[in-house]
Amino acid sequence: MGIADDAVEIRAHGWRTLAALHALIENALERVLQGEHGLSVVEYTVLDALARQDGRHMRMRRLARAAALSNSAATRLVTRLEDRGLLTRVLCADDRRGIYTELAPAGLELLERARPTHDRVLREALAEAGGTPELAPLVGTLRGLEPRPLP
């Protein structure tokens, strides 16, 4: 194996480790959020992204990026959440072609109930992963990225 082959293998190993950690976290979140709140991880992500915006709305294209979805998948997801009364769509006042997705009061209430569950399951999944030798270094790196409180 040459130097170039070693570099490829190191990157591939890093990617596999990241994918394994992501799967562990996502599976835990999916199971608990769905069971306790009737929300998928991606639905939670959309509600959370909207809640963090001024006015609790954003353009569809930007929401798709925030949830790591294609535009068409984001449209289908927003339609499902809108049918459940969690979101609404609003035409942009200054650009009639633009559509905003806005968090409805019911969506905010559901998010506020689900957020402590999400945070608890995330902590538990990271603690579990931290006890796995293959994942522990990556978990340590993630902990180093946590925002620090302002003085």
Quick one: how far is CA 103 from the chain centroid? 16
Whole-structure pTM value: 0.85
| The predicted structure's pLDDT at residue 85 | 97
Residue 149 has pLDDT above 60, yes or no: no
Task: For 70-129, write each residue's pLDDT tens digit.
Answer: 999 999 999 999 999 999 998 877 766 778 899 999 999 999 999 999 999 999 999 999
- pLDDT computed for residue 90 by the predictor: 87
**pLDDT class of 4 with cuts at 50, 70, 90:** low
2 confidence band (pLDDT: 50, 70, 90): low
Alpha-helical regions (H) of 38-135: 41-51, 60-66, 71-83, 105-130
What CA–CA distance (Å, rounded) separates 21 from 131? 12
pLDDT of residue 113: 97
d(CA 108, CA 5): 50
